[in-house]
Chain A
Amino acid sequence: MSDLHVFRQESRDWLEENCPQSMRSPVIAGEGACWGGRNWTFASEDQKLWMERMGAKGWTAPDWPTEYGGGGLDKAQHKILKEEMARIRARSPLDSFGIWMIGPALLKFGSEALKQQHLPAIIRGEIRWCQGYSEPNAGSDLAGLQSKAVDMGDHFIANGQKVWTSYGDKADWMFCLLRTDPDAKKQMGISLVLFDMETPGVTPKPIKLISGSSPFCETFLDDVRVEKDQVVGEVNQGWTIAKYLLTHEREMIGGMGLTGAGSKTLGAIAAKTVGTTDGRLNDLFMRTDIARWEIDAAAFAFTAERVTDEAKAGQGIGATSAMLKYYGTELNKRRFETMLKIGGSDDLIWDGDISNNGWTARTLLRTKGNSIEGGTSEVQLNIIAKNILGLG
């Protein structure tokens, strides 16, 4: 048996033993998702067990180095682990901006001390992070940000306002872009800094979304003390790191275009709501929409697979996160438009059991943000045109 076969068998056995039964079904509408952190209330004892066991094994961040508590898996092993988890429909033990965004940036650009301080707590789900990038006047044009940090000798003092801070009111720490040199050219005077959300002067205020929930905030910074050792990389060199982090965010958001293993196909759901005759859905226009969507979704899933395999083989063009983000989010929006049509008028009901509290309608509304957050679709197309196609 090859090493990979051994790894597969061992992973399968370990998951069998350690994944609680109730954690072996897809997370629906984010309900049952685990975000961890100081303020987290576990939905069940199983959820807690699952996060802690996976965290202790390093499998919440399977490909991070073991010296910081990660799983230390190579790409082939990581793929196997994903397959084995999908096989038993194991849900993600931990959703985390730490793992998706700031972690990879720290691994590449952070000092040894910052890695030691932050990575193990991210992996174990102890600290939850939020992203302080956007400002009222700096969205797509992120480098136009104005919130600033002034050098006070042994520390910085930060002032300004961030907006659209997802989970700003629930997070423990923020990774934040601040202007540290007001005289430098746009991109040049920006630093990426880290601070605790409990630092005096940090005030997140929830904003209600069209979906009815309030996952994001405006965050005010009034004379916030930022320690000097909490700057990632060099002072005034934060822009490169910020962009690197964004490529990770984009891949993660683009991944929403992938339907999780074990979830029902749109065709199967529609067969229940509109019925079939001779193996065909009774609503032929709906059937066409579904087939079109499923063909595109398959093409997208294979593309995500191909891009990963090419990276592993050292082939390909690398700069694909913009494409995955663009295509995946547009696909996810179409998916929910199709789902709502499949669900019919019952799915328009905003609250109550009939519609599972308006799950489809609310999720449809939430997906509209997918092509905005992490850089809009138009911005991704600009990036493709400029960086990949060389159109000036």
Chain B
Amino acid sequence: MCDTCGCNITPGNEHLVRGDGRLAKTDEGREAVTVLQSLLSENDHQAAHNRTHFDSHGVFAVNLMSSPGAGKTALLEATIESLGDAYRIAVIEGDLETENDAERIRACGVEAIQIATGSACHLDAHMVHTALHQLDLDPVDILFIENVGNLVCPASFDLGQHRNITLLSVPEGDDKPAKYPVMFRAADLVLLTKTDLLPYLSDFRPERAERCLRELASESPLLSLSSASGEAMEDWLTWLRTEVAAQRERIRQGATLRPAIQPDGMRLHSAAPATHAHAHGVVNATGGEG
């Protein structure tokens, strides 16, 4: 938390730090302590350290989120097929149960670590850290972290990734961003998937999906593609190539990047006390408020 710059003071919590100050005594000899720390500060710490791991190994890390079955694994399979020769790719798979997704990725000739989250409906930074110890990051260019299929919980947990991608598949309906604002606001890129199904689901209007996204004050790109038919993959692959190049440039400059919209915790972490200044890297200007 930050004592000086006020970065974590919002109109909602201002009264706690103004007035009677940070440490006020109440009656009955109780001590009132102002904290103003993210509820997930432990997770955010671990995430910052994961990010340092990625940066020091020259890895570009992406967190893929969507509802169950929106096509995350199919997208990875298609992407590996197209870019597997140009980049070294590794995948961390998060699912409640089974090794199925990791096996699908391994069948493409790419290393995959499966995290079985049990009852947890999201990945957290500690689970990802454990998985990282089973992976040799040195030769890896791109690490995809496929989160648990869930449009709610994964959005709250920073994993240390550089970019968040949220998939919206055509069968889900075009108003999903309006129904799940936290998830879609977190996306640096929204991928509209399964577009080969558009002819059969004529009430899905891509422009309505985009309008719902803009109403969340998001300027993130929205790209359409079909992993099944392979149509319109090129824009996505270009986005990925550009991002890998940008990550290499950041590493050269000793900078890092966090997803554009950060949960509260990241905002606080960037102002962490000096004892935590180790290993968190320099934050590039582009990593700030979007």
A in complex with B: no
